[in-house]
Every structure is written in C-alpha cells, then in structure tokens.
Structure 1
Amino acid sequence: MGTRRPRAWLLSAYRADSHAAWADWLLASQPQVDWRRLELPGRHFAWRIRGNPLSWLDALPAEAPDLLLATSMVDLATLKGLHPRLAEVPALYYFHENQFAYPLSDRQNHWLEPCMVQLYGGLAADRLLFNSAFNRSSYLEGVATLLTQMPDAVPAGIVERLTQKSELCPVPIAPVSAAAERDPQLVLWNHRWEHDKAPEVFAEAMIALAGEGVPFRLALLGKRPRQVPPALARLREALPERIVADGRLPLDEYRTQLGRAGIAVSTARHEFQGLAMLEAASAGARPLVPDALCYPEQYPPVCRYPEGDSAALVARLRKWLGGDLPPAVDVSPWHADRLAPLWAEVLGTLAT
C-alpha cells in the first residue's frame, strides 16, 4: 500500500476570476495532496466576507482534514469556533488582497468588519501567505493603524505575531507567447473597467496623445460591467478608428492580443499582484505602470511613472510610441513552473 496523501480543504469564499484561476492551478499542480474544495460564488462581497461560516455551517465534511488552506475572504476564526473538530487543524491563510489597502469607491462607505475578519483570520492561522510584499506590508501596516484607533484593551505585540508567521507565495501565471509580428504602437488595456483601476486616467492620456497626432492603436480588453463605463464610452466616441479590439475576448484571442501588443498600461490605484500586467509582460509587451503598489517589486524604474502623474504617463507613452521602447522585462519568477515547487514546499511543511 502506498503512503496516504495528506487531506486538505481549500476554502475560497469568493470565486472571482483570479481566485478561481489560482485554485484551479493549485489543485492541478499539487496532486500529492488529497484536496477537498469548498467555494462560494464571487458576488455579494459584504455578505461573502462576513457570512461564509454560516453558508458553510452544514456543508463541511464530517472528518477533519490534515490541513486547511483558506483565502483571506474566509472568516477563519469564526469557522474554527463553530467547528471544534477544526480547532487543532493547521491552517494557511492566503491573501490575494487585504481590505486595509483596498480603495473605496464614491458609492462605498468604509466599514470595520472586513478588516476585523482578516485580522482575526490572521491570528487564527498558523501561517500567512501573501502574493506580494506590498500586500504583506500594507496588511501589517493597516493592522497597526487600526489597533491605534481602538479605545482600550488592545494587547501588545499583535503586529509582531502576524509578522513572524508571514511569507510570500505569489499566484503563478501561464506565460503568453509573443506573436510572430509585434505591433510596437499597439497599446493594451487588459484590466477591469472599475474605479480601483482608474480607467479614466488611461482614457485621458490616450485622447491627449491622439490630439497631438501621435500614432497608436488600442486593444481595450478586460472585464467590464453591464453598463458601459464612462472611460470606455469616451474612448469609443473619441478614438473609434484606433480601436482594433474591444471586449472580453475568449482566452485564445485574448492571448493573441497580448502577444501582439507593444505596450501594456496600468493606471491602477489598487494592485496587490497585478496578474494582467504580468501576463502582458510575459508576452513581451512593455509594461508602463505607476511607481507604487506591487509594481516596484516587478518592473525596473524605466517602466514606472510617478503615481497619479498623468502628464508623466503621457510623456512616457509619447516617447515609447515614438520608437524608444525599453527592453522587455523578464517576469519568469512568476511563471507557474517556477512557483509550483514553492507551493509544494509550503503545503508540505504543515500537511504532514
């Protein structure tokens, strides 16, 4: 008889696109673990992050696993409290994001509970895994700031406890092949068209460059809401003849556009790892990103412009579109084949 594989539960309370891709890859790449997967749909954020222990109240298997791997959308502390058989099970807590550093839209109010879920989850876990150093530092700094705002009875050393059991373990990307012929004047946008990605800044820059007569073409990709975002509507109205792709494309077509693009732009106000930019850079597109968030970990200074400086963005694009492109960036440290052994090591440490 062979050695029994360690049993692990993957608990993902918000199966959105990047969370789903990570979970799918992890289970496929780590067959040495006997996985049981429990996920909730990626919608109704406020209910998901607070209500997942209730949603799973009667759904968890009767037999406890050898290991829990929960995303930071999971209220791990409450889950362990409701199920005493899980109290002593080793737990990894994986941060795709953290609520301390997430920018709120004009329609949102700051609320305390999502931050407290992730604070308690961090304390309840044996190890905290982060997809970037920025994610880790902003979480720890956010916890420290929150605790200073509490009126009394705050124990000492909370941040130190969390820091001691924190480490980096990025989400991998599947590298994209370059096209046989690249278009150095094809500018790619492959992010969500939502407030935290600041698409209005991108639209303003491209319209300004068009007004100067700078030649370029646009591939406007990425997930968009049902109602057309104002930034996308502006680009469609102002630059229809320059748009060569517009929509959330099938995967093969999406990868083709990445392989053709000369430049990929981010104007994000929030980015914990930036998978879309890493994918574009893997295909050879030159990344142009804010000098903030996770980006300094990934791209050299020539690829970064001062955060929030739209004039600097326009100036860099003008230069690059004029033929002065920097070298391609090596993002192979984030390739799946490089990260699979790291994940195997992390899982093996506790799943014994």
Structure 2
Amino acid sequence: MKILFLEPFFGGSHKDFALGFQAHSCHEVDLVTLPARFWKWRMRGASLYFVDQVKDFSCYDAIITTDMMDLTDFMALAGNNLPPVLMYFHENQLSYPLEPDQKRDFHLGFTNIISAFAADQVLFNSEFHFNEFIGEASRLIKQMPDLRPKWIIEQIRKKNRVVYPGCRFESGAIDLQNRDVKKPLIIWNHRWEYDKNPEYFFDVLSRLKKKNIAFSLALLGEKLDRFPKVFDRALEKFKDELLVYGYVESKQEYLSWLKKGAIVVSCANQENFGIAVVEAVRYGCIPLLPDRLSYPEIMPQDIHSKVLYQTKKDLMVKLEHLLLNYNTYLPLQKRLSGELEQFSWEIIVKQYDRILDNLKYTLD
C-alpha cells in the first residue's frame, strides 16, 4: 500500500512515531509535516497547508494523521477522492493538564471529538488515554445547552483500537552490567515542563540528600526556551551529584546515559504512554513510577508493588531502598529489560500494518 502520513506537529513523540512507522512499515510511507510550534494554530490551520501541498490524494491507499489536526476541515477541503483516514491520538485537548494560569479552550477539545468521529479508524496510544478521552468527551457533550449528540461517543468506540507506539531499540542483546552500584545513577529523561512535575522529583531527591543517601543524577529530556525554574535551582543544589544537565542532541550519547542508568523516575501528571520510561527500562534502568496514568498498564501486574508508588513518602521509601540495595534488584532489571522488547517497532509495526490492510479491505 501507498500511505500518506500527515503530521501537523513534527517534534517530540509525534516525530519519533512518524519516523519509526515510516522506517519499519511494510508499506510505502510518504511524510508531509509541519514544525512543532504554535500548536493551537496547527490545529486550526494545518488542513489548509496539507491541502495546498498535496495535489492528488487519490493516489494513496490510506492517510494517517494525528490529533493536532482538524480532520473535518481537512476532509471537507480535500475533495471527494479521499482514501480512508486513520487518526492516531498521542494526546487530546480535553484531558491534557493545564498550567495554573491557563484556562481550557473547549473548542479545541471539541475539535478532537468531531475529528475522531470523522475518521475511518481511530487509534489511541493506551487504554488509559482512550478512557480519559471518552470520559471528558462525554462530560463536554453534557454541557451543551441542547441537541446533545450523545450517540457520537458510541460511534467513536466502535472505530477505536488501542495500539502502543513503537520504540526504536538497538538490535541485539542489551549489556546490563555497566552500572555504578555505589552511587547509582538516577535518570530524568522527560520533557522539562510543568506536566512532568519536576518539583515533586527534586523535593524527593533533596530529602534523600539530607539523609546522606548516595546517588548520581542525569537530567536529560527535551528542554524548551522556557522551562520550570526548579531546574535552575537543581543545577546548584545537586552540583555534586549531576553528571549531565540538559538535552543531548546525539541519540547515541543519550543511549549511553540510559545504559549507565540504574533507576528511572517519573513523577508525571500527564503520561498517555511513556516512551522515555520504556526506553530507559529496556536499557537497564529500574523504574519507579506513579500508580496511575498509563504506567500500571505498561508494567507487569505482578511487580506493581515494587515499581509503582502511591504517595511522595512511598516514592522516598522505595527509592531509598533501591539506592541502598541496588544489587538485589538485578534479577528484576534483567526481567523488565527483556519483557519491554515487546514495544520495539519491529514487533509493534505489524499491528499497524494489519489495521491498514483491514481498513482498505473493509472500505473497498
């Protein structure tokens, strides 16, 4: 099949997903993208750009796009000879947590709802995310003053599938031996933004430092021009522990830090899948994650009590125990590294290709 992938926000997980699918799919995939900035304008205007850029949509067997698109505008403007459209939701504007001074724009959330309804196939990146979306969509529809289209929720359910995003791992066996057991390296590889809750993370580390618990620290992840000031304070507070501070451009350098890492911690308020955590665990980091969001879904259920925490105190207790008894966690490290190979693009892409094959067959 010949697939057209339209990505209105080509950065971060959106970019990784588009490039990963293009590289691993058995189909021929053409990418047309827009830079990852001005996201509200992308939702309003990306359809105009794509219609102008692509002169003939009928030469494709299917179109893939993501949640930063007003699909109804696009379908109206693209004409009658449009192939089936698959929409992938990385996030949505109904449940994404807001900064304290922000007010939710429900017009953008409603755009997500009617776009999901208009698509021929809808995919979400976790069960957690889909359930959050459906719950918030139902609540928004109930707020309408009249003519509430409650039936739209069931229509979206019927065309939805949950398929996890693929991760690009190195081929071959993973070396799990290269760890400092005296000062285990704690990895932060999330975006430097409010929704990843860095204040919570640094507060826990400060308390452990006061107790003279030894650790080293790698602060990785995407850093925008504006980022929470707590990172500036952390640069001074943890100067003796910090080995790296800031985003590393080279993928190989990034992976080299994951391979040295002992522990990856998330304190996120928003996470619909967790590629950063999955990558770190695959390369040998023991995870400590909140017992919510998508994390209970992607971690094996029988080890939830070891790797998921309920409260800040629970995180402190688990992290302290892990730092002081790291060697006892090595069997768990080996198990998790092996099990998370299931999220590699080589395995995951087969689900996407089958869905596209079935979509074309069903609609033909």
Q: Shorter chain as normaliser: what TM range?
A: over 0.9
Report the Cα distance in structure 1 between the residues aligned to 2:234 and 2:296, rounded to whole angstroms: 29
Whether the 8 Å contact between 2:57 and 2:78 is mirrored in structure 1 is no
Task: Report the CA distance shift for 1:274/1:341 in structure 2 as closer, same or farther (over 3 A).
Answer: same
Q: Which deviates more, 269-278 or 105-114?
A: 105-114
Q: Which residue of 2 aligns with 1:3?
A: none
Query: Is 1:346–2:342 an aligned residue pair?
Result: no
Preserved contact between residue 204 and residue 316 of structure 2 (Cα < 8 Å): yes
> What's the CA shift string for 1:55-82, capped at 9, x where partnerless?
3342222242321111111111111112
- Deviation string 1:60-111 (CA, Å, 9 cap, x unpaired) is 2224232111111111111111222255x31111111122220011242210
TM-score by length of structure 2 reads 0.90
Matched residue SS, 2:80: helix
* Preserved CA contact (<8 Å) 2:342 2:348: yes
Where structure 1 has 5 or more consecutive residues not aligned to the other structure, the ranges are 1-5
Is the Cα–Cα contact under 8 Å of residues 29 and 340 in structure 1 kept in the other structure?
A: yes
1:181 correspondence with 2:178? yes
2:135 counterpart of 1:141:
yes
Q: Is the contact made by 1:66 and 1:351 (CA closer than 8 Å) also made in structure 2?
A: yes
* Counterpart check, 1:208 vs 2:207: yes
Distance 1:86 1:243 in 2: 56
Q: Could you tell me which amino acid in structure 2 is paired with residue 343 of structure 1?
A: Y
Question: Offset at 1:175?
Answer: 2.7
How many angstroms apart in 2 are the aligned matches of 1:71 and 1:61?
A: 20
Classify 1:315/1:22 alpha carbon distance in 2 versus 1 (closer, same or farther; 3 Å).
same
Number of residue pairs matched? 343
Q: Are 1:16 and 2:25 an aligned pair?
A: no
* 1:256-271 correspondence to structure 2 within 5 Å: 256-271=256-271
User: What is the distance in 1 between the residues matched to 2:27 and 2:232?
Assistant: 48
Identify if the C-alpha distance between structure 1 residues 178 and 86 changes in structure 2 by more than 3 Å, giving closer, same or farther. farther
Identity %: 29
Gaps of 5+ in 2: none
Shift of 1:9: 1.5
Higher normalized helix content (fraction of residues): 2
Given that 2:24 and 2:346 are in contact with CA atoms closer than 8 Å, whether structure 1 keeps it comes out as: no
2:65 equivalent in structure 1: 70
Q: Which residue of 1 aligns with 2:292?
A: 292
Q: Is the 8 A contact 1:179 1:256 kept in 2?
A: no
Counterpart residue number, 1:113: 107
Contact 2:46 2:69 in 1 (8 A): yes
Conservation of the 8 A alpha-carbon contact between 2:289 and 2:309: yes
The residue type paired with residue 276 of structure 2 is: A
SS in 2 for 1:8: strand
Distance (Å, rounded) in 2 between the aligned partners of 1:152 and 1:227 = 41
Q: Equivalent residue of 2:22, what SS?
A: helix
Q: Which amino acid aligns with 1:331?
A: L
Query: Which residue pairs with 1:217 in the alignment?
Result: 216
The answer (yes or no) to whether the contact 1:122–1:128 under 8 Å persists in 2 is: yes
Q: How does 1:177-256 map to 2 (within 5 A)?
A: 177-178=174-175, 180-184=177-181, 185-227=184-226, 229-249=228-248, 250-256=250-256
Cα 1:347–1:228 change in 2 (3 A) is closer
**C-alpha RMSD of matched pairs (Å):** 1.6
TM-score (norm 1): 0.93
Distance (Å, rounded) in 2 between the aligned partners of 1:104 and 1:98: 12
Which residue number in structure 1 is paired with residue 343 of structure 2?
334
SS in 2 for 1:284: coil
Counterpart CA distance in 2 for 1:297 and 1:30 is 25
1:69-108 alignment, distance < 5 Å: 69-86=64-81, 89-108=83-102
1:174 Cα offset (Å): 2.0
Q: Which residue of the other structure, out of 320, 323, 326, is the alignment partner of 2:322?
A: 320
TM superposition shift of 1:237? 1.2
Cα offset, 1:235, TM superposition:
1.6
